[in-house]
Structure 1
Amino acid sequence: MDTFFLSHGSPTLSIDESLPARPFLRSWQSKVLQAVPRAILVVSGHWETAVPTVNVINGTNNTIYDFYNFPKSMYQLKYPAPGAPHLAKRVKELLEQAGFGRVKEDKTRGLDHGAWVPLMLMYSEANIPVCQLSVQTDRDGTYHYNMGKALAPLRDEGILIVGSGNATHNLRMIGRDGGPIAKWALDFDAWLKDSLLDGRYDDVNHYEEKSPSGKMAHPWPDHFYPLHVAMGAADGYGY
């Protein structure tokens, strides 16, 4: 099973038909990944904890509306995917065996919008079990890359690993809708694409020193670390 990183963009991806990511994600099963995963592990930039934590849900995942002042219709959306407690236990086992310390279990947390918004387009039936894993923003890219490497065996177990964040994420610097894309964002995005295609994963792990405008693109690393996890899990074969 391949592993992927998705730039999930704004929560309005859930309703805005003008966004080009919507048809791409809707074509996921026909054009991107025909194999049906046994379960899905999502590493979302919207779940930060001090230590690695998995949500262990028996039954249905709750839909978390972790966004504010958006259209009311967005708060009516549901993505009632079943939990994946067996996958959560396996993630915990792999990370603890790899030396990440005790992995915590959260038995109440559902799916944040970094998980359910793209998944509702990719797997609209909401019938595949989903588990989430948190990021640790006081750590670095190499830590999260090694986390992904520890999780790589899941790929041979039919598990789809998805890192959900953004290639750039600086909310303070967002320009007006329809305006030109800032040069710092274009430069960072081009550097990231070239680095990944060239296999310069260590440069991506040390993006703050190696990239143009790294601190501008990611003043806080929460939305970038899911890429590092996916990159480590991919072992050079992710998308």
Structure 2
Amino acid sequence: MGLKDTFYVSHGSPTLSIDESIVARKFLQSWKKDVFGEKPNSILIISGHWDTTVPTVNVIQTTNDTIYDFYGFPKPMYQLKYPAPGAPHLAKRVKELLKNSGFNRVDEDKKRGLDHGAWVPLMLMYPEADIPVCQLSVQSHMDGTYHYNLGKALAPLKDEGVLIIGSGSAVHNLGAINPRGGVAPWALEFDNWLKDALLDGRYEDVNHYEQKAPHARKAHPHPDHFYPLHVAIGAAGENSKAKLIHSSIELGSLSYASYQFTSDSS
């Protein structure tokens, strides 16, 4: 089963896991019905919450642990579980593809489960937790083009029935969150620039967003939540078509904008 689509989903706040008032929660819950009805063989998810020196995959032989990598949140959030099977064969394939594409060092972690950038959206998208999941890290000391090429190396996985998902936040500045204010103009401007660039196929501009986008540094003081987008674009290909599949901003400056990238060939 070959797949034509890759995705970037914004997971925003960890409270997405329990807060029914977050609009993006309903979007993710409608995933199989309204966005992507095919059931993949396995899922490769790239989360902004796993940041390493070199590309690293988790190699889990049994069930992925649920990592609670957040602090001071309501107790029910720490009782949630997402016991998705590990995907050791996919992890091996990821390492093989990356090394064949010039990523000379690719590491593996045999203990690490799924952080909340992975399990929170997946819990809403695939609540049965019956699809094997492998997680891949980002390298925030590198740039957008590096992560685009990382995704490009992984493109063959689509033909093998693997769903590639980048998980981050389209605008992610936790220091600028304002629960009582309206949407920050700078956040909306960056969010709209990103939408226009993606829908116009200006992927090179997105790769060089620091120079091209308005308020780039404010929208992403640290790029870890943005680089999963570049991986998703690269895996789809330079001639892929982007589609905005969800748009909302919470807490004044936290964007949940999410995108689908469809390859031009099957």
Choose from 213, 227, 233 the match for 1:211.
213
The structure whose residues are more often strand, as a share, is: 2
Aligned equivalent of 2:18 = 15
CA distance in structure 1 between the aligned counterparts of 2:183 and 2:236, rounded to whole angstroms: 30
How far did 1:178 drift? Answer: 4.3
How many residue pairs get matched? Answer: 238
Q: Which residue type is aligned with residue 228 of structure 1?
A: H
Where structure 2 has 5 or more consecutive residues not aligned to the other structure, the ranges are 243-259, 261-266
Runs of 4+ residues over 2 Å off in structure 1: none
2:59 to 52, 56, 59: 56
- Per-residue CA deviation, residues 21-75 of structure 1 (Å, 9 max, x unaligned), is 1111111111111110000000000000000000000000000000000000000
SS at 2:155 equivalent = helix
* % identical aligned pairs: 72
| Letter of the 2:51 counterpart | E
Q: Please list the CA deviations of residues 74-93 of structure 1 after superposition, one character each: whole Å capped at 9, or x if unmatched.
A: 00000000000000000000
The correspondence of residues 152-167 of structure 1 with structure 2, limited to 5 A, is 152-167=155-170
Counterpart amino acid of 2:215?
A: S
| Structure 2 SS opposite 1:125 | coil
Select which of 196, 199, 203 maps to 1:197.
199
Corresponding residue number in structure 1 for 2:124: 121
1:42 aligns with 45
Contact 2:46–2:135, Cα closer than 8 Å, also in 1: yes
The aligned counterpart of 2:114 is 111
TM, length-normalised to structure 1: 0.98
Match of 2:229 in 1: 227
CA distance in 1, matches of 2:213, 2:98: 29
Distance 2:218 2:107 in 1: 32
Which of 137, 151, 154 does residue 151 from structure 1 map onto? 154
Richer in helix (by share): 1
Residue 183 in 1 paired to residue 200 in 2? no
1:171 maps to 174
Q: CA deviation at 1:203?
A: 0.4
* Structure-2 residue corresponding to 1:6: 9
For residue 196 of structure 1, report the CA deviation from its aligned partner. Answer: 0.2
Q: CA RMSD in A?
A: 0.7
C-alpha distance in 1 between matches for 2:104 and 2:60: 22
1:234 shift after superposition:
1.2
3-state secondary structure, aligned to 2:44: strand
| DSSP 3-state at the match of 2:9 | strand
Aligned-partner residue type, residue 128 of structure 1? I
Structure 1: tracts of 5 or more residues without a match = none
Return the letter of the residue paired with 2:99.
E
1:211 and 1:157 map into 2 onto residues whose CA distance is: 35
Residue 73 of structure 1 pairs with residue 76 of structure 2: yes
8 Å CA contact 2:199, 2:241 repeated in 1: no
